[in-house]
């Protein structure tokens, strides 16, 4: 999703390179230009597996020719960061984005919207790397910069939303997340009206907070509003639609509304891409209740169960296959498995039963 940015910056470096390279290194100058030509071709052809070694070579060569604090090397650093992020090497990507911003600071680069975008990108990458304290720090910096640039509210809202996402993933910060989601939602509604994809995104996160705090009825109401927009704006099989259906089914299960949970499991199957046949996909799972008898004894264990997923995504025919301390944990394992919901299998576009699904349910004792 970020390849267009990489290509744009790659072109920028090529435009700058000929004037910046020392004349006594014509061979290195030519090599750098050739590397960037190859790099662009690789990205355009979709051969992303070849992009990391090329980006690394460009990074090393630009540093040697221009120095670590040059504009040219800053571009190479940013490109390498984007490639690492694409391959989910988030820790390395965050380190590189930080290095890129350090160079921009050294060069006294004007703090404009492009600069702001990179602040936000670093905050996102720290969150993906599970470095949540740093993600909060940079998320706040990005939000403060957006405000200092006096951007319109709808351009500030994405930074509020992103900071809320970071708080959402931080234990005990659900209330803080909810406040940022509400601000972003309000700004998007004012700018675009109730029926916009950006509004739906902010509402989606509000609903997640409600679901986290077990306010399932409120969560389901918001998820349903989001669903109508997502189904209209996003393609079948989009990851956000899958996530939405899983949470919506979970909310209905928690509410005890089995009929609506089943309806949404069926709908999830119908929203697969056309011609897409696949085995069952998990929509909703819940942690098992830890038996009191096991708690008294201070023991853990696991149960491997086998079951059938019906045409409506429900679980039936649960039986125990193997496990540890089965006699203690079997009942709890069967009870929780019965609550699971799946997107049912499709064959030739029709929903079918799927037998022989195995699932390991673990009970870990913690003092």
What angle do helix axes 71-86 and 51-66 make, rounded to 10 degrees? Answer: 160
DSSP string across 40-84 = HHHHHTT-GGGHHHHHHHHHHHHHHHH-TTSHHHHHHHHHHHHHH
DSSP designation for 212: H
For residue range 207-237, list pLDDT tens digits in order.
Answer: 999 999 999 999 999 999 999 999 999 987 7
How far apart (Å, rounded) are the C-alpha atoms in residues 202 and 184? 6
| Residue 23 reports pLDDT greater than 50 | no
Task: Compute the average pLDDT of residues 244-270.
Answer: 87
Q: Which residues does 37 contact at the CB level (< 8 Å), separation at least 6?
A: 14
For residue range 35-51, list pLDDT tens digits in order.
Answer: 988 888 888 887 677 88
Instruction: Find the angle CA(222)-CA(288)-CA(331) to the nearest 5 degrees.
Output: 135
The two tokens of residue 294 are 């096991």
| Residue 26, pLDDT score | 64
| Residue 46, pLDDT score | 73
72 and 16 Cβ atoms separated by less than 8 Å:
yes
Length of the chain: 367
Average pLDDT, the chain: 88
For residue range 143-185, list pLDDT tens digits in order.
Answer: 999 999 999 999 999 999 999 999 999 878 899 999 999 999 9
pLDDT tier, 242 (very low <50, low <70, confident <90, very high otherwise): confident
Tell me the CA distances in angstroms from 7 to 84, 96, 121, 178, 260, one per residue in order. Answer: 15, 17, 17, 36, 46
| Residue 118, pLDDT score | 95
Query: By percentage, how much of the chain surpasses pLDDT 70?
Result: 90
Q: Domain ranges in the chain?
A: 1-109
| Residue 10, pLDDT score | 43
| Residue 19 reports pLDDT greater than 50 | no
| Residue 167, pLDDT score | 96
Residue 228: strand, helix, or coil? helix
Write down the architecture of domain 1-109 according to CATH.
Alpha Horseshoe (1.25)
| Residue 1, pLDDT score | 32
| Residue 6 reports pLDDT greater than 80 | no
| Residue 267, pLDDT score | 83
| Residue 16 reports pLDDT greater than 70 | no
Q: How far apart are the first and last CA of the chain?
A: 44
| Residue 276, pLDDT score | 54
């Amino acid at each position: 999703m970020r390849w267009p940015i990489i290509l744009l910056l790659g072109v920028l470096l090529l435009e700058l390179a000929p004037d910046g390279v020392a004349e006594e290194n014509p061979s290195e100058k030519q090599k750098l230009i050739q590397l960037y030509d190859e790099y662009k071709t690789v990205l355009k052809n979709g051969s992303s597996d070849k992009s990391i070694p090329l980006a690394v070579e460009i990074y090393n060569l630009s540093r040697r020719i221009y120095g670590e604090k040059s504009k040219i090397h800053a571009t190479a650093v940013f490109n390498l960061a984007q490639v690492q992020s694409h391959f989910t090497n988030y820790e390395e990507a965050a380190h590189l984005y930080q290095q890129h911003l350090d160079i921009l600071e050294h060069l006294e680069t004007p703090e404009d919207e492009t600069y702001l975008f990179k602040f936000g990108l670093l905050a996102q990458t720290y969150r993906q790397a599970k470095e949540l304290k740093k993600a909060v720090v940079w998320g706040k910096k990005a939000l403060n910069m957006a405000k200092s640039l006096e951007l319109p509210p709808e351009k500030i809202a994405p930074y509020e939303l992103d900071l809320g996402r970071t708080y959402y993933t931080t234990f005990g910060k659900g209330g803080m997340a909810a406040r940022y989601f509400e601000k972003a939602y309000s700004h998007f509604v004012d700018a675009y009206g109730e029926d916009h994809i950006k509004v739906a995104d902010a509402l989606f996160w509000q609903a997640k907070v409600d679901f986290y705090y077990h306010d399932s009825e409120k969560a389901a109401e918001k998820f349903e509003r989001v669903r109508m927009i997502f189904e209209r704006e996003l393609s079948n099989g989009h990851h956000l639609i899958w996530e939405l259906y899983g949470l919506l089914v979970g909310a209905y299960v928690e509410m005890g509304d089995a009929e609506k949970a089943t309806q949404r499991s069926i709908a999830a199957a119908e929203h697969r891409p056309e011609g897409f046949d696949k085995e069952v996909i998990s929509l909703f799972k819940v942690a098992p209740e830890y038996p009191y008898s096991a708690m008294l004894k201070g023991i853990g264990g696991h149960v491997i169960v086998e079951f059938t997923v019906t045409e409506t995504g429900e679980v039936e025919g649960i039986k125990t296959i193997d496990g540890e301390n089965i006699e203690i944990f079997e009942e709890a394992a069967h009870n929780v498995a019965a609550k699971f919901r799946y997107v049912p299998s499709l064959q030739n576009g029709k929903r079918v039963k799927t037998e022989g699904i195995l699932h390991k349910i673990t009970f870990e004792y913690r003092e």
